[in-house]
Structure 1
Amino acid sequence: METDIYYVNFEKRNTDIATGPPLPSCNQYERIDPQTGPPLPRRYQDEGNAQQTRPPVPSRSQDEVKAQKCRGSRCLVLMTVCLGIICVLLLVGSSIAVAQYFMVAAERESLFKSNKNTVEEFNQTINRLQHNYTELMTEKDQLKNNFTSLSQKKLELESNVTSLSDELQKAYEKGYLWGWFFISNESKSWSDSRKYCRDQGADLVIIKSEEKQRYITSLVNERMSSERVWIGLTDIQQEGNMKWVDNSILNQGFWDTGEPNNERGNENCVELMPSYPVLNWNDLPCSIERKGICEK
């Protein structure tokens, strides 16, 4: 590394003692050629270049050159190290930024898939609920139709029941309808036999038609082998005024020949003698023991 050497050309001039010698001007600085040295003073040139000799150029020592080169090398090494450190830092920063980018991208992709799955599940749930709602509405309409149909059938059945009830009541009043019959196990007085029937939720039988009279007679014959039984007819309250246990008046009787005769004046209760097919009633004292036929 070479350095340029400059010299100052001072010419001999008159100087003022008060002001001193004048300062050199800028054009008085000239570059020194390291090979030829500084230019000769003008006075040497004015003398016709009598002497072509030049003042000797001061030479630099090898140590100074080596030191200057060493300093330059150190600066270059320092700059190289700094650049290397900067490159390493940039590389590390870039790697971290790339890693963070991929992490964020992966997380974003995961969130996107998760949201997509959630949306799909939500849509499936909505579709399933809509399907269930449609089915429920269909079932509701069917149930509503069934309810309407059943309501109409109910009204029809109620009408039929009312009609049947009226017919049954008329049939019962005419004696065409009979209940459930059973015969007591022990022979008792008329009053005790009636009490037995009432304890079973029934009462002594009432007969107001020939059909029922024939049925009761056949039933007693079948069950009792022509054994006589009490029926629910008496004139205890008023002699000669026969009434059924429901306090209804006797309109049609099925008396045996010569009955009722109130023999001895105390025959106030009526028995049925099944040995005769239809006309088989007989008045008898109420204290005599017979089995009773009950109707429920």
Structure 2
Amino acid sequence: MFGTYFRVGFYGCRFGDLDEQEFVYKEPSITKLAEISHRLEEFYSERFGDEVVVIIKDSNPVDKSKLDPNKAYLQITYVEPFFDTYELKERVTYFDKNYNLRTFMYCTPFTLDGRAHGDLHEQYKRKTILTTSHAFPYIKTRINVIEKEEIILVPIEVAIEDMQKKTQELAFATHQDPADSKMLQMVLQGCVGTTVNQGPLEVAQVFLSEIPDDPKLFRHHNKLRLCFKDFTKRCEDALRRNKALIGPDQKEYHRELERNYYKLKEALGPLINRKIPQLYRALQPVPTTPTHR
């Protein structure tokens, strides 16, 4: 009943008034990016000719000076409804989260040397937040974008978001009703499996092994440390839940998961228990000098 949303940008003088305009399109909820790309490419190819329409495959900002003036460019990106923290307190139900939508977001990973993906310490993320002129559901299936805001996340902030997402997935799989042991084991394996590349342990080793030189990163360092504490607690809850769900045939597999978890916890221990002294200085009581009357 509700939709899937895509941002479509139009670039090129062939589009006339649409040039450099952006819209959010509402599609049926099972629409894939490839489907809408194919449909729009076909539609505009009929108008302008087969060789004219070009689909821009990434979601990076478009530099018009690098585009061929004789071609018509479409940039299509999957977007999700975006809610501020205060809004989520009011938008509780599935209906609330799919009604009266005006703000959408998409993320673009990038590195400073131009590649999309790099090592953990090089991985930045650009969050683009779009505001439309009207709210969905609407009488039209596309609404123009009237405001655009960009937020750049530095690598440690990207790591914080990734760890928060992993922790939420664990919590969801643990408390799912009815219980789904396959789902729970899959999420657990991804969190405590020793072979996971760029997994939790590597994230901790990259960002928590040393206190950052830049004081601006102290709070991020502390936040990531607390994320890991929450994460290990959620892993423990998930293991306890899994133990209650499995049959005799999976006991050895569960023991392996437990062994991996304890190895992970032991390796994380020194990294997540060290606090940054500079952050806690302000919390110490300031000695007051006695006043004499």
TM-score (norm 1): 0.20
Higher relative contact order (CA 8 A, sep 6+): 1
Q: Hey, which of these two has a bigger chunk of strand by percent?
A: 2
TM-score (norm 2): 0.20
Question: Highest CA radius of gyration, 1 or 2?
Answer: 1
